Structure 1
Amino acid sequence: MTPPHDPRALDVDEARTRLPGLTVVDVRTPGEYAAGHVPGALNIPLDHLDSALPALRRLPGERLLLVCASGARSENACRVLAEHGIRAMTLTGGTQGWAQRGQELHRPPSSPSATWSMERQVRFTAGSIVLVGLGLGLLHPAWQLLSAGIAGGLVFSALTNTCGMAALLSRLPHNRPRPADLEAALAALERRGQAPVT
C-alpha cells in the first residue's frame, strides 16, 4: 500500500489554465453540486469514492483534480486515493475560491432545488442541538450535557479537520446521489480512462 502524501494543490488560475486536460471530480453532495460546480466536473460524493477506484486508476497521472466547497473534503479525498496508489490534486479554496476569483460555476438547467452546503447544514444542526440542550437544561441540568457534547465535537472536528456530523448528514436522502446520476458519472470516468492521452 502506498503511504499517504500531502496532495498537490492547484490554485484557481493554474486549474483554469489546465482545465481542458484535467478530469475534475466534485466530491460534494449532489445538492451542493447542483447549486454550482466547476464546469465539466463529475459528481462522485466522498462516501461513494470507493466505487470509482477502478476507473480512477486508469486515468493518466497528474490529471485528476478533486474539488469540494472549500478544499477540506477534497484534501481528505486525495489522501484516501493516495492510500490506493492514485495520485490526485485538490483545488485551493474549492468552488468557493473558484467563484470568488470570478470563474463561472455551472448549474444544470434541470437540476433539483439546491441543497444547503454541508458546512451550512452542520452549523444549523449543531446550533439547533445546542439550543435544544440549553432549553431542556432549564427543566433538568443533565440535558446541558447534550450542548457540551456538541461543543466538544466541534472542537475535535476543528483539531482533526474531520467532521462526524457531516458524515452523518451526508447520508440523509437529500444528500444522496440518485443511482442513475452516480452510474452516469462513473461511466464518464471510464470513458476518460480509456481515451488516449493527448
Structure 2
Amino acid sequence: MTARNSSPTIDVPAARALIADNPDVLIVDVRTPGEFETAHVPASINLPLDQVDAHLGRIVNDAGGRILLMCQSGNRATTACTRLANAGLTDATVITGGMNAWVAAGGPVERGRQRWSLERQVRLVAGGVVLLAVVASVWVPAARFVAGFIGAGLTFAALTDTCAMGAMLSRLPYNRGAGCDVDRSLARLRNDRQQA
C-alpha cells in the first residue's frame, strides 16, 4: 500500500487477495448510481460521493472493519477517503485506479444497463461546448470567451482535483439510474460488520 494524496491505497491484485482472505472486507463504491448500475464489483455497496458528507457520522459509527473505496479511476474514492479519515474512520483504503483498473485486471464484475462513466460525460460536454464556442466565434467573436471559460474550469479542476461539471452531471436523472437507497447501503454496512 502507498499513499496518494495522503489517502492509503491498495492495488487491484492486493485488494482481490485481501478480499479472498478476509470476508469482512467491504467494497464501498462512491460512483453515481447510474455508474454503479452499469458495472460494479459483486457484493459491493453503492454510497455516492455526494451522499458521504451527509452521512459521515453514520458511516464512521457503522463501519467496524476494513473498507475499500472504489470509484471509476480513484479520484472520487480518494476524496471520500479523506473525508472519512477526517471524521475519524481509520480503516478505509482506496483501490488504485478504481473500476478501470479492476476491469483491466480481470476482476469479477456484475453488469447492468450500460451508461457512460462520469469522466467520459465531462469530456463530451466540455469538448462539445468548446467546439461549439469556436465555431460560433466565426459569427460572434465573443463566443471564444466561452471556450476560454471551459479551459479555465478544466485547469482549475485539475489543480484542485475537483470537478464542478462532474458534480452537476452526477445529479442528472441519467446518472441516478435506479437510484441509490442510502439507508439500505448504510444498513448493509452495519449488518455486514455485525456478522463478521
Residue of structure 2 equivalent to 1:39? 42
Q: Which residue is equivalent to 2:136?
A: 136
Normalised to the residue count of structure 1, the TM-score between the two structures is: 0.87
Cα displacement (A) at 1:134: 1.1
Q: Percent identity of the aligned residues?
A: 41
Residues 1:77 and 2:80 are matched in the alignment = yes
Deviations 1:5-24 (A, max 9, x none): 81110111111112233111
Gaps of 5+ in 1: none
Q: Is the 8 A contact 1:55 1:189 kept in 2?
A: no
Aligned residues: 187
Task: Find the counterpart in structure 1 of residue 101 from structure 2.
Answer: 97
Change (3 A) 1:186 1:179: farther
Higher strand fraction (1 or 2):
2
Q: Distance in 2 between matches of 1:50 and 1:180?
A: 15
On the 8 A contact 2:35/2:116 being kept in 1, the answer is yes
- Equivalent-residue separation in structure 1 for 2:144 and 2:53 (angstroms): 39
Letter matched to residue 119 of structure 2: E
Describe the shift of the 1:53–1:177 C-alpha distance in structure 2 as closer, same or farther (beyond 3 A): farther
SS in 1 for 2:40: coil
| Cα distance in 1, alignment partners of residues 179 and 132 from structure 2 | 36
Equivalent residue runs for 1:1-198 within 5 Å: 6-19=6-19, 20-57=23-60, 58-61=62-65, 63-87=66-90, 88-107=92-111, 111=112, 113-176=113-176, 178=178, 181-193=181-193, 195-197=194-196
- 1:90 counterpart SS class: strand
**Between 163-172 and 51-60, the greater mean CA deviation after superposition:** 51-60
Structure 2 residue runs of 5 or longer lacking an equivalent are none
Q: Contact between 1:71 and 1:90, CA under 8 Å: does it hold in 2?
A: yes
Q: CA deviation at 1:178?
A: 4.9
Q: What displacement does 1:48 show?
A: 0.9
Structure 2-normalised TM-score?
0.87
Equivalent position SS for 2:139: coil
